[in-house]
């Protein structure tokens, strides 16, 4: 198992919370495939650094700059990192405050994220991985 990927992911989340797209991209493979949790409601799969930039613009259009990720637990899965987190934000247009539980699976290769999949439901991430939460050892954020 590689705790290095968990540490890299912590820094990735810090860059996201700082709204630093250049720092976010520094953790992304140029050929990254990024699956948004909002794909079921009009989102998309984004490809490459240009795709991550597009996702970031799309995300800020919905949430503005008052959104942050609060990680509850990381799980070291070798080249993959599973994270359970809460997305805190306020709708840019509606003004509605939200706190949404999500999960993500990031596949790290060569120190960069090659594949990133955000899940609106944690159970879906676990099902895709073929794991149960009871079998996992959480790592504190």
Q: Which residue has the tokens 């810090």?
A: 14
Element spanning 112, H or E: strand 112-119
Of 44 and 100, more confident = 100
Model pLDDT, residue 1:
46
pLDDT surpasses 60 at 8: yes
Per-residue pLDDT at 40: 45
User: CA 46, CA 104: separation in Å to the nearest integer?
Assistant: 15
Q: Which residue has the tokens 């080249």?
A: 79
Q: What is the CATH number of domain 3-135?
A: 3.10.450.50
Q: What is the widest separation between alpha-carbon atoms in the chain?
A: 43
Read off the DSSP letter of residue 138: -
- pLDDT tens-digit series, residues 30-82: 999 999 886 544 558 999 999 999 988 888 887 777 789 999 999 999 999 99
For the chain, domain boundaries: 3-135
């Amino acid at each position: 198992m590689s705790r290095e990927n968990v540490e890299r992911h912590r820094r990735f989340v810090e860059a996201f919370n700082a709204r630093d797209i250049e720092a976010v991209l520094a953790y992304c493979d140029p050929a990254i495939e990024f699956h948004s949790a909002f794909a079921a409601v009009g989102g998309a799969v984004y490809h490459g650094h240009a795709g991550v930039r597009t996702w970031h613009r799309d995300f800020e259009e919905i949430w503005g700059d008052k959104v942050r990720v609060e990680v509850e637990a990381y799980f070291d899965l070798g080249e993959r990192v599973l994270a359970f987190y809460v997305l805190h934000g306020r709708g840019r247009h509606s003004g509605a405050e939200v706190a949404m539980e999500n999960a993500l699976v990031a596949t790290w290769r060569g120190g960069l994220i090659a594949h990133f999949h955000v899940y609106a439901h944690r159970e879906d991430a676990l099902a895709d991985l073929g794991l149960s939460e009871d079998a996992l050892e959480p790592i504190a954020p």
